[in-house]
Structure 1
Amino acid sequence: MKVWDLHCDTLSELRKAEHAGRPKSFAQNDLHIDLEKLQKGDYLLQCFAAFVNLGDKTPGADPLVTALEEIDQFKRIMAAYPEKIAPVYTAADIRRNAAAGKISGMLTIEEGACCKGSVGVLRRMYELGVRMMTLTWNHENELASPQRTPGGVLVPQTEKGLTGKGFEFLAEMERMHMIVDVSHLSDKGFWDIVEHGTRPFAASHSNCRALAPHTRNLTDEMIRALSERGGIAGLNYYAPFLDTDPTHPENCRSTVELIAKHAAHYKQVGGAQMIALGSDFDGIDGPHQLENAAFLPLLADALRKEGFTEDEVEGIYYRNAMRFFEENL
């Protein structure tokens, strides 16, 4: 079954390896995602995030340079394997690539601060191919607030959301049809998007807070609002976003059964049409039953056992995401 994944951090890992003098081949490597694994997993499209950590204290670290170097990684991958993977910039590219038997790659950004508060830079990012962006990662920036971490403990940030510059970015992103991604955004920021946004938006890699009370997950009220706006949510495979029980069998809390339970909760609250996949591959650690992109067929059986119809399983795997992007790019 074809796979569409809304989020991975593979570009960041490739950049780190290159900077360390140990470059990895995208054809085959030890990461969660490479070309061979995507082929084995029967991927239709992988969203590749240019990820920026504002807490990076490396001398000379610059968020804009980091993002541009990861975008360069994406461009080089697309150029190196043109017969096997091709970029997506418009809705028509999705089906064109599929008809040619190619996997698609979509460029996204995780951490809007890479634009340094400049709408002009944001527009240049769109020209480079970026089609979805989170306003924040885990640090305060000039656009918005993420969830709070006082003393390392995550608590919902309900008081600080988008800044004036953040609202300016929201309007420009919607004008360009760059998808606003609310994963990592504070609770207040989420509701700012709902109140002031006019277009469907996404939570590319977030689960259900009712099942795993991590602030990176969505409350039922958020799930309903996202669904009512025509949005989409990607199931995240990271254990702390799936389960809070450290005694889970074999100490592997990231199982396909738990992912399927979050999918079932999404369906109950917001409807099956809003569910997609958002692995967070190469941005997560710990043991996972879905060890890498090649293991995706395992999840389909768990979804069926959870009561999803074959049509709904296909929706979660790729058709819901395809519809969302074809309607909103």
Structure 2
Amino acid sequence: MKVWDLHCDTLYELRRAEKAGAPKSFLHNDLHIDLEKLQQGDYLLQCFAAYVDLADPAPGADPLVSVLEEIDIFKRLMAAYPEKIAPVYTAADLERNRAEGKFSAMLTVEEGGCCKGSLGVLRRLQELGVRMMTLTWNYPNELAAPNANPGGPLVANTETGLTERGFAFLEEMERLHITADVSHLSDKGFWDIANHSTRPFAASHSNCRALSPHNRNLTDEMIRALAEKGGIAGLNYCASFVDADSAHPKLCRSTVERLAKHAAHFKQVGGIEVISLGSDFDGIGGQHELETAADMPLLAEALRREGFTEDEVEAIYWRNACRFFKNNL
């Protein structure tokens, strides 16, 4: 079963290893994702996020420099293994890579604050290959407010959303065909995009709030709005997004059975076409039944046990995301 994953933080981990003087091989490493694991998991495409933490305590840390360095790693990986993996900037790239038997890789950004409010930076990121971007991570920036309160209670933010600059970014992102990613946005920010967007948008790594009441998950109303706009949501394997019950920390809460329940809820509320995969690999710790990219067949089996047909499993695994990006790149 081919796999299309909307989100991982592997570039961040590879950059961190380089900065520590212990670079990791992308062919084989101890991360959730490497080329060998992608092959074992039968991947079609992996979205690689250039992720930055605006609160990075490193001396002289600059979010734009961090993102550009992760993009540089992405480019170097594509150059180092051209016979195995190739970037996707257009729908034609995807078809060519498939015909040549290569994995595809799509460049995204997690934290629109790296642009420092500059539309010029946004345009240059698009030229470098960025095709999807979250407006925030866990901190407010020039563009929008997040659904996070680091160190505080996880309460949904229904008061502050996109700024005036954020709306300008949304308009330019749509013109550039950079998909707006609402994962991490405040509830108000989600509705700002839902009500003002003219193109489909995505929640690259968010689950169902009805099953796990984490503020990073989507309410039923959000799922319906996302589906009505022709958008997609990627199932996130992070334990607290899968199962909110942390009373038994030694137990694995991120199981394929629970993920399949989230998929079933997405289907009931928004229809089968809204569901995709958004692992958050290399951005999540703790126990997960899907330990690495190599374990993806386990989720397909759980979806079948949950009652999904083979056609529906295929839609969740890659077809929905493939259709979405073919229409929106």
Aligned to 1:121: 121
Aligned to 1:234: 234
- Contact 2:138-2:150 within 8 A present in 1 as well: no
Aligned to 1:138: 138
Aligned to 2:190: 190
Correspondences of 1:7-156 after superposition (within 5 Å): 7-149=7-149, 151-156=151-156
Identity of aligned residues (%): 76
Is 2:264 the partner of 1:264?
yes
User: 2: distance between equivalents of 1:80 and 1:133?
Assistant: 25
How many residues align? The count is 329
Matched residue SS, 1:266:
helix
Q: 1:151 to 1:289 in 2, by over 3 A?
A: closer
Aligned to 1:307: 307
User: 1: distance between equivalents of 2:241 and 2:115?
Assistant: 28
Amino acid at match of 1:33: I
User: 2: distance between equivalents of 1:116 and 1:122?
Assistant: 9
Correspondences of 1:279-298 after superposition (within 5 Å): 279-298=279-298
User: 2: distance between equivalents of 1:305 and 1:196?
Assistant: 39
Using the TM superposition, give the Cα deviation of residue 49 of structure 1 relative to its aligned residue in structure 2, in angstroms. 0.1
Using the TM superposition, give the Cα deviation of residue 142 of structure 1 relative to its aligned residue in structure 2, in angstroms. 0.3
CA-to-partner distance for each residue in 1:248-276, whole Å, 9 max, x for gaps? Answer: 69600010000000000000000011100
Using the TM superposition, give the Cα deviation of residue 92 of structure 1 relative to its aligned residue in structure 2, in angstroms. 1.0
Amino acid at match of 2:183: S
Mark the runs of 5 or more structure 2 residues left unpaired by the alignment.
none
Using the TM superposition, give the Cα deviation of residue 149 of structure 1 relative to its aligned residue in structure 2, in angstroms. 1.6
User: 2: distance between equivalents of 1:66 and 1:122?
Assistant: 15
User: 2: distance between equivalents of 1:148 and 1:272?
Assistant: 29
User: 2: distance between equivalents of 1:115 and 1:28?
Assistant: 32
Q: 1:28 to 1:120 in 2, by over 3 A?
A: same
- Contact 2:9-2:48 within 8 A present in 1 as well: yes
CA-to-partner distance for each residue in 1:16-58, whole Å, 9 max, x for gaps? Answer: 0000000001000000000000011000000000000001011
- Contact 2:148-2:184 within 8 A present in 1 as well: no
Aligned to 1:245: 245
User: 1: distance between equivalents of 2:276 and 2:195?
Assistant: 24
Using the TM superposition, give the Cα deviation of residue 148 of structure 1 relative to its aligned residue in structure 2, in angstroms. 3.9
TM-score by length of structure 1 reads 0.99
Q: 1:165 to 1:245 in 2, by over 3 A?
A: same
User: 2: distance between equivalents of 1:243 and 1:43?
Assistant: 26
User: 2: distance between equivalents of 1:137 and 1:292?
Assistant: 23
User: 2: distance between equivalents of 1:49 and 1:249?
Assistant: 29
Q: Which runs of 4 or more aligned residues in structure 1 lie more than 4 Å from their structure 2 counterparts after TM superposition?
A: 247-250
Amino acid at match of 2:196: H
Matched residue SS, 2:104:
strand
TM-score by length of structure 2 reads 0.99
Comparing 314-323 and 243-252, the one that deviates more? 243-252
Using the TM superposition, give the Cα deviation of residue 150 of structure 1 relative to its aligned residue in structure 2, in angstroms. 7.1
User: 2: distance between equivalents of 1:249 and 1:11?
Assistant: 28
Using the TM superposition, give the Cα deviation of residue 95 of structure 1 relative to its aligned residue in structure 2, in angstroms. 1.3
User: 1: distance between equivalents of 2:92 and 2:250?
Assistant: 45
User: 2: distance between equivalents of 1:245 and 1:66?
Assistant: 35
Matched residue SS, 1:245:
coil
User: 2: distance between equivalents of 1:211 and 1:262?
Assistant: 7
CA-to-partner distance for each residue in 1:167-204, whole Å, 9 max, x for gaps? Answer: 00000000011100000000000000011111000000
User: 2: distance between equivalents of 1:172 and 1:148?
Assistant: 25
Matched residue SS, 2:264:
helix
Task: Kindly report the root-mean-square deviation, in angstroms, between the aligned alpha carbons of the 2 structures.
Answer: 1.0
Is 2:318 the partner of 1:318?
yes
Mark the runs of 5 or more structure 1 residues left unpaired by the alignment.
none
- Contact 2:235-2:275 within 8 A present in 1 as well: yes
User: 1: distance between equivalents of 2:250 and 2:155?
Assistant: 29
- Contact 2:130-2:178 within 8 A present in 1 as well: yes
Q: 1:28 to 1:215 in 2, by over 3 A?
A: same
User: 2: distance between equivalents of 1:151 and 1:71?
Assistant: 29
User: 1: distance between equivalents of 2:148 and 2:246?
Assistant: 23
Matched residue SS, 2:171:
helix
